[in-house]
Amino acid sequence: MKKYVYSFGGGTADGDGKMREILGGKGAGLAEMSKAGVPVPGGFTISTEVCNLFFENNHKVPKEVDEQIREALDKLEAQMGKKLGGVDDPLLLSVRSGAKFSMPGMMNTILNLGLNDKTTEGLAKNTGNPRFAYDCYRRFIQMFGEVALHIDMEKFDHIFDARKAKVRAKLDTDLKAEDLKAIIEDYKNLVKKETRKEFPQDAYEQLTLARDAVFNSWNTPKAIYYRRMEKIPDSIGTAANVQAMVFGNMGDNSGTGVGFTRNPSTGEHTFYGEFLVNAQGEDVVAGIRTPQPIEELKNVMPEAYNQLREITSNLENHYRDVQDFEFTIEQGKLYMLQTRNGKRTGPAAVRVAVDMVEEGLISKPEAVQRVAPNQLDQLLHPVLDPAMRKGLQKIATGLPASPGAAVGRAAFSSEDAVELAKKGPVILVRKETTPDDIHGMDVSKGILTAVGGLTSHAAVVARGMGRPCVVGAASVSVDENKRLATILSEGKRLTLKEGEWISLDGTLGEVYLGQCKTNEPDPKSHYFATFMEWADSFRGNFGVRANADIPRDAKQARLFGAEGIGLCRTEHMFFAEDRIPFMQAMILARDVETRKKALAKLLPMQRKDFAGLFESMDGFPVVIRTLDPPLHEFLPKRENLMVDIARLPYASSRDKKEMATTYGVKIGELKKYLPELLSRVEELHEFNPMLGHRGCRLGITYPEVTEMQARAIFEAAVQVAKKGIKVIPEVMIPLVGSVKELENQKALVVKVADEVLGNAGLKNFKYYVGTMIEIPRAAMTADEIAREAEFFSFGTNDLTQTTMGRSRDDYTKFSRQYEDLKIFKADPFAVLDQDGVGKVVEHAVKLGRKTRPDLEVGICGEHGGEPSSVEFCYRVGMNYVSCSPYRVPIARLAAAQAALSTDTKAEVQRTA
């Protein structure tokens, strides 16, 4: 019979730490700890396979699974010497989710399962502590009611808070046993009212409902959203971990906590975490009470603290990674409830990887593969400007939960954050976040909570998302309904309203009123520089270039390690305020000579831009794309022109002056100029400009444009080369679909290059002419095109549109439905469609290299900075990828991981 249920505890386990796919991360950790002799409460794991069977079988588990659960429960009862539902000394259980990949707070947990009216009395009698027993029962009804019976938690909270108010209890712990008994009765009445049934008294029925609730939580909207955000497959399912309860709420010699073996925010090698005395686990992570730093535990319970330090240190050495652990101390005895590889911020991931290599725990290849490429983005976040920060009012201080700076308008609910984010950056301000806030957290630049600690939901999720976060800002009181927060700052009470600007420092845990300027980070820091040096050593000859149009971007790209420019969009240079009038004059010209006069004024401007790029790259190649967009993009919109023509006869002198400035002409010329401009705009109108008169088609019909750009490129190259700087220009002709188009444009470029270089005495100067592969015909005839092209650069933005027949701008209108229905795994404009567009790319690479074996091949679309797309580019034999400057480190790491993965697969094949 196939095994679906795996027992653990008492120094043995059916599974082990390598069975994450079957047992989930939590179950695998519990099994491994049990085998290692770590004090773990006994239990059993219902495998992830059962979760999938549950959904396939109309939300029911197969009979053989139920039989195995009963057998595992019998084994656990024998191990613990207690019975589930036993009246005198009941076995109580926790039921927790646990997928292969950590999804903090996204799925359900139920504690104290097995309590009912009779077993609660037995627990009270057996422990001699009625208050403890009733506290456990009220917690169970509340948690079970929300998770398994779908009753709104606020209804339970209303009952609980009303009782506290009635007896004037300041803290939960001030409630007496009689108060808790009264709350329990009110809770049971609420359950009956909401479900029309009594609260279930049969313990095994409770277990069945709790198990099903855990499986159902796999497909809640927040869990689905989180998986999509973290790119976790929907098909893996979650395990359900059933474990004997141990209690941290049995008095002052009991407690519970969570922690990390290293600081998950900074990576510093310090013991990190929090605990609460006389509490259960959910009290810590839910932010209900502000916990104490874990170092304080050595003063409260020194023996348990020393044992915890020893166990967690051994676990880190065993797993050779940072451990995220949970523990409970029951009347002085320590129990470990969980260990798993800890989620950490980008800065922490890099530091831990470098430190662990230096400590001899892992190798350099392992270190490079430990950091997710997108995590590097967090190291490149801005910080608050120190000088400007001094001029702002610091209104709150909390715990630094996730580093970096965030500036935005305050929003006090996730729904409001989503709406406000459409208009600009947002900071989500909450009393505490819950898993239901995931959509608001996702759109926010930063997160601020009034309560909670460094292991609260807000802290853990923000770190995973790379969002700056401050938690436990006790001076902040949030009123979600009124959309404001009251803040006690320096003895004064101030009100923060929705939409007001605040600035957040997640590294220091500080909050400022107002909009602070931010500064860029230093990519040359020791840990980052060391880590990237290792990554580059494994990347080999695979290059990473940047898309940059101006010298400032080029310098930033070099700072982040770019090895050249893979795409300079020359049209971006024409949109500058001092250039657009000359560009428009060129477009309005009705003959070649007039057009050349306008281009002559643009020539020195382009030459200066190109010289700046060549100097910034200092010997690395610079790919310059000739004019690509349709000409109408450089002209005013037709509707605006018609309005201005209608307004002109009635416009004031001031309005006419503004019009003249806008259009770059004299006031007296407006009457004639505006109708001419409108006429030209209407002439240039296209029904489908994306496939219209653009790219090489413009260069063919207006060869003087290509000639001007080529002259600017090579005159700039000569100018910079004479300074002793090596220059490698690569001229790229866009939107080629036929080799004849490339022949036409290449001939113009070569003619101008020979003239300019010859006059400068640089006849042996090396340059390249190639093309952008962005329409399917170019890919299908790549062998012909490679006769002329010395390099290919795949423009995968347009290639995706033309291959899939899908507009990038319009796809967003139905993209969510496509992703929800699993028609596409991801947005094909963000992640390269390897099954479709990828095959077109691979085919073109093979055809091109068949004609020209030394053909240089790269990619310059947005996919060039997306990790899985970079891995694809490496696999199909490209020479480089090109992406935005801030994605360069991400692409460098993704390329290194692709190389290491390829080497590992090759080694496996050699030894097979």
* Continuous segment of H or E residues that includes residue 484: strand 484-489
Please report where in the chains the tokens 């998986």 appear, as a residue: 227
Dihedral sign for Cα atoms in the order 173, 178, 184, 189: negative
Task: Tell me if residue 404 falls in helix, strand or coil.
Answer: coil
Q: Is pLDDT above 80 for 868?
A: yes
Task: Tell me if residue 370 falls in helix, strand or coil.
Answer: helix
> What's the confidence (pLDDT) of residue 464?
62
Query: Which residues does 297 contact at the CB level (< 8 Å), separation at least 6?
Result: 255, 257, 275, 304, 305, 308
The band of 909, judged by pLDDT with boundaries at 50, 70 and 90, is: very low
Q: Is pLDDT above 80 for 116?
A: yes
pLDDT in tens, 261-314: 999 988 999 999 999 998 876 676 665 677 899 999 999 999 999 999 999 999
The values of phi and psi at residue 771, to 5°, are -145, 160
Please report where in the chains the tokens 């933005």 appear, as a residue: 797
Q: How far is CA 796 from CA 621, 675, 812, in A?
A: 20, 39, 17
Give which of 589, 614, 610, 612 is closest to 599, Cα–Cα: 589
Give which of 440, 406, 412 is closest to 425, Cα–Cα: 406
> What's the confidence (pLDDT) of residue 286?
61
Beta strands 768-773; 791-794: pairing state: parallel
pLDDT in tens, 87-112: 988 999 999 999 999 888 889 999 99
Structure tokens at 286: 């839910």
> What's the confidence (pLDDT) of residue 285?
64
Task: Tell me if residue 614 falls in helix, strand or coil.
Answer: helix
Please report where in the chains the tokens 């709406």 appear, as a residue: 419
Distance CA 594, CA 869 (A): 45
Strand partners, 446: 427
Share of the chain above pLDDT 70, in %: 97
Residue 282 contacts residue 362 (beta carbons within 8 Å): no
In this structure, which amino acid lies at residue 459?
A
Task: Tell me if residue 158 falls in helix, strand or coil.
Answer: helix
pLDDT in tens, 726-781: 999 999 999 999 999 999 999 999 999 999 999 999 988 999 999 999 999 999 99
Distance CA 27, CA 20 (A): 7
Dihedral sign for Cα atoms in the order 575, 577, 582, 585: positive
Structure tokens at 769: 């002419």
Measured from the Cβ of residue 656, the count of other Cβ atoms closer than 10 Å reads: 15
Distance CA 84, CA 208 (A): 13
**Total-model pTM:** 0.78
> What's the confidence (pLDDT) of residue 581?
82
Question: Where on the phi/psi map is residue 282: left (φ > 0), alpha (ψ -120 to 50), or beta?
Answer: alpha
Q: Is pLDDT above 80 for 77?
A: yes
Distance CA 261, CA 361 (A): 14
Structure tokens at 871: 């891995």
DSSP per-residue string spanning 707-763: HHHHHHHHHHHHHHHTTT---EEEEEE-S--SHHHHHHHHHHHHHHHHHHHHHTT-T
| Cα distance from N-terminal residue to C-terminal residue, the chain | 31
Which positions are annotated as active-site residues? 457, 860
pLDDT in tens, 625-670: 999 988 888 888 888 889 999 999 998 999 888 888 878 789 998 8
**Reduced DSSP (H G I as helix, E B as strand, rest coil) percent helix, strand, coil of the chain, to 5:** 50, 20, 30
Q: Is pLDDT above 60 for 530?
A: yes
Structure tokens at 744: 């036409």
Structure tokens at 192: 């009956």
Beta strands 93-99; 90-91: pairing state: unpaired
Distance CA 883, CA 906 (A): 28
Give which of 323, 473, 347 is closest to 398, Cα–Cα: 473
Structure tokens at 322: 């940072």
Dihedral sign for Cα atoms in the order 734, 735, 738, 744: negative
Residue 731 contacts residue 788 (beta carbons within 8 Å): no
Instruction: Please write down the HEC assignment for all residues of 413-447.
Output: CHHHHHHHCCCCCEEEEECCCCHHHHHHHHHCCEE
**Residues recorded for the chain:** 912
Query: Which residues does 554 contact at the CB level (< 8 Å), separation at least 6?
Result: 546, 548, 562, 565, 612, 613, 616, 617
Dihedral sign for Cα atoms in the order 366, 368, 371, 373: negative
Q: Is pLDDT above 50 for 911?
A: no
Structure tokens at 230: 């973290």
Strand partners, 447: 428, 469
Half-sphere exposure of 567 (CA within 13 A, CB side): 29
Distance CA 796, CA 773 (A): 8
Q: Is pLDDT above 50 for 912?
A: no
Give exposure, 355-372, as e/b (b: 16+ Cβ within 10 Å).
bbbeeebbebbebbbbbb
Q: How far is CA 43 from CA 91, 93, 281, 350, in A?
A: 11, 9, 17, 36
Q: Is pLDDT above 60 for 910?
A: no
Section 113-138 average pLDDT: 93
> What's the confidence (pLDDT) of residue 783?
98
Distance CA 751, CA 413 (A): 63
Distance CA 134, CA 292 (A): 25
Distance CA 183, CA 161 (A): 10
Structure tokens at 200: 């279930």
Residue, of 1 and 647, whose pLDDT is higher = 647
Q: Is pLDDT above 70 for 455?
A: no
Residue 707 contacts residue 747 (beta carbons within 8 Å): no
> What's the confidence (pLDDT) of residue 267?
93
The band of 200, judged by pLDDT with boundaries at 50, 70 and 90, is: very high
Give which of 810, 787, 789, 587 is closest to 705, Cα–Cα: 587
Q: Chain-wide mean pLDDT for the chain? A: 91
The band of 908, judged by pLDDT with boundaries at 50, 70 and 90, is: very low
* Continuous segment of H or E residues that includes residue 334: strand 333-341
Distance CA 777, CA 780 (A): 5
> What's the confidence (pLDDT) of residue 639?
86
Distance CA 815, CA 802 (A): 17
Strand partners, 511: 396, 504
Structure tokens at 260: 């990390």
Give which of 892, 911, 907, 899 is closest to 377, Cα–Cα: 892
DSSP per-residue string spanning 461-527: HHHHHT--EEE--TTEEEETTTTEEEEEETTEEEEEETT-EEEEETTTTEEEES---EE---TT-HH
Query: Which residues does 697 contact at the CB level (< 8 Å), separation at least 6?
Result: 735, 741
pLDDT in tens, 143-187: 999 999 999 999 999 999 999 999 998 888 889 999 999 999 999
pLDDT in tens, 461-478: 787 677 899 998 989 999
Give which of 841, 860, 797 is closest to 546, Cα–Cα: 860
pLDDT in tens, 49-76: 999 999 999 999 999 999 999 999 999 9
The band of 849, judged by pLDDT with boundaries at 50, 70 and 90, is: very high
Distance CA 850, CA 876 (A): 14
Distance CA 280, CA 274 (A): 13
Give which of 321, 313, 330, 241 is closest to 31, Cα–Cα: 241
Distance CA 10, CA 405 (A): 47
Section 780-796 average pLDDT: 97
Please report where in the chains the tokens 């906590």 appear, as a residue: 257
Highest mean pLDDT among 401-405, 665-669, 824-828: 665-669
Measured from the Cβ of residue 652, the count of other Cβ atoms closer than 10 Å reads: 9
The values of phi and psi at residue 494, to 5°, are -125, 160
Query: Which residues does 894 contact at the CB level (< 8 Å), separation at least 6?
Result: 373, 867, 868, 870, 871
Distance CA 565, CA 561 (A): 11
Section 381-385 average pLDDT: 79
